[in-house]
Amino acid sequence: MIYQILEILGNRHAGFILCLIVIINLAVGSLVMNMNPELYPPFFPFDLKFFFQPTLPVHWWLYLLLFTFSLFAINMTACFVESLIRIRDTTTGRLRLFVGIFIHAALILTMAAHIYDGFYGDSGQATLSPQPTSIAGIGNVSALSVRSTHHPDGSLKDTEAILKIDQPDGHATRQRIAYNEPATFEGGQREIIIQGGQKRPAGVVLMQKKDGKTFEMMPYRPQQISNGRLTLKGMYQSQMGVIVAEFIWERISEQPQLLSMALHESMVRHNKIALGNETLGYKGMLEVPVVAVMTRYNPAIPIILLSLLVATIGTVLQIYYARIQSS
């Protein structure tokens, strides 16, 4: 009775049809996502939770896919169990049955891994700078540098960044990331994937006109200059595309003054400020690396590696079986 149920559930023709329906569902899903890009975030990960928070009619293809996928998984599992029973009851042709067992096991493990990742995996976005950013499961991550390379025609070729990772156990490491080269942790279960990066203005280097002395100004870190206090309030880009720095100049018994400086060497009339008898000019800009990344957690990596091992063994057995049959 049990064997008859297994034969029905593991029908090869039904499995073939279910496999085709799964492929059709995937194709339809790709078209729906392409026609409705506003419904899906950029760099959309394999996150099945997204489709249930909330459920929407437009995701009908995914719900149908999960139903068909479940039937296909039941079919594969029934075939797997049926092959085990046949090995127990058969004395000849056991190698061919072992091939089937390994192939079915690899398919079952692969499907289980995708479902596990889809519902229990996680992903997020982060912007990294020299200030540490806490990333769950990894630690405090900061960007030490960022560099972009370009093709001869000026188009972007690659962006790479050097990250510092302070792990919860107190161990600190440095990792290089670039396009198609993520930083991996916990055997590949956690990843930091670069999406872009650039250097952004963070401060200004000023030079005293009378003696050529230079000093660095960072936002809201006052400097004592010419019997007063100078504070960099911030920087913004003007309508002409020039970056302008705003300063607050304070002296005892005087009203604070708001001063502006164009951060451009060629704008000699506007790239200096006067502080009483002292004149300060623009010398350079302080820049910090800013890197946009995606963080990814895939708990199904061990299952995927196991399925790869099982599929490899099945493939080797199939090749060996084919050579025996042809000899």
Phi and psi at residue 43, in whole multiples of 5°? Answer: 55, 50
Under a CB-based contact definition with an 8 Å cutoff, are residues 97 and 90 in contact?
A: yes
Say which residue, 181 or 100, is predicted with more confidence: 181
Mean pLDDT of the region 150-175? 91
The whole-number pLDDT of residue 92 equals 74
pLDDT, tens digit (0-9, with 9 covering 90-100), for 259-295: 999 998 888 888 899 887 888 999 998 999 999 999 9
Q: What pLDDT, on a 0 to 100 scale, did the predictor assign at position 96?
A: 83
Mind listing the pLDDT tens digit for each residue in 176-219?
A: 999 999 999 998 999 999 999 999 888 999 998 888 888 899 99
Averaged over 149-169, what is the pLDDT?
91
Tell me what the mean pLDDT of segment 143-169 comes to: 92
- The answer to whether residue 255 scores a pLDDT higher than 60 is yes
Measured on CA atoms in the order 147, 183, 179, 295, is the torsion positive or negative? Answer: negative
pLDDT of residue 98: 86
The answer on pLDDT for 81 being more than 60 is yes
pLDDT one-digit tens code per residue, 2-60: 656 656 676 778 888 888 988 898 888 888 888 887 787 765 667 888 888 888 888 88
Segment 123-134, tens digit of pLDDT: 888 999 999 999
Q: What number of residues does the chain have?
A: 327
Strand partners of residue 204: 217, 285
The pLDDT of residue 45: 64
pLDDT of residue 25: 87
Arithmetic mean of pLDDT over the chain: 87
CA atoms within 13 A on the CB side of 64: 15
pLDDT value of residue 127: 94
Q: Examine the pLDDT at 256 and tell me if it is beyond 80.
A: yes
Q: How confident is the model at residue 324 (pLDDT cuts 50, 70, 90)?
A: confident
Q: Tokens standing for 52? A: 């249930």
What confidence score (pLDDT) does residue 301 get? Answer: 93
Q: Which pLDDT does position 44 carry in this prediction?
A: 61
Alpha-carbon distance of 148 to 165, in angstroms, equals 21
